Amino acid sequence: MNGEPIVILLVEDDDGHAALVRMNFEESKLANTLIRVCDGEQALDYLYRRNAFSDPAKSPRPGIVLLDLRMPKVDGLTVLKTIKSDANLARIPVVILTTSEVDMDIAKAYDFHANSYLVKPVDFSKFTELMKTMDFYWLAWNQRPR
* Residue 28 in this model has a pLDDT that exceeds 90: no
Residue 133 vs residue 37, higher pLDDT: 37
d(CA 119, CA 85): 24
Burial of 29 (0-12, 13-18, 19+ CB in 10 A): exposed
The pTM is what?
0.88
Which domain, by its residues, includes 104?
A: 7-141
Contact 96, 64 (CB under 8 A): no
Per-residue pLDDT for 6 more than 50? yes
Any domain includes 2: no
In a domain? residue 101: yes
pLDDT, residue 81, reads: 98
Instruction: Measure the CA–CA gap between 111 and 107, rounded to whole angstroms.
Output: 6
Top mean pLDDT of 2-6, 19-23, 41-45, 116-120 is at 41-45
Residue 146 lies in a domain: no
CATH number at residue 38: 3.40.50.2300
Contact 49, 56 (CB under 8 A): yes
Evaluate if residue 4 carries a pLDDT over 70.
Answer: no
| The pLDDT value given to residue 29 | 63
In a domain, 110, yes or no: yes
Express each pLDDT in 39-94 by its tens digit. Answer: 999 999 999 999 999 999 889 999 999 999 999 899 999 999 999 999 999 999 99
**How many folded domains does the chain comprise?**
1
pLDDT at position 130: 78
Calpha distance 133→146 (Å, rounded): 23
Instruction: Please indicate, yes or no, if residue 1 is contained in any of the structural domains.
Output: no
pLDDT given at position 1: 44
Residue 73 lies in a domain: yes
HEC sequence for 61-79: CCCEEEECCCCCCCCHHHH
In a domain, 64, yes or no: yes
pLDDT per residue as tens digits for the range 86-120: 999 999 999 999 989 999 999 999 999 999 998 98
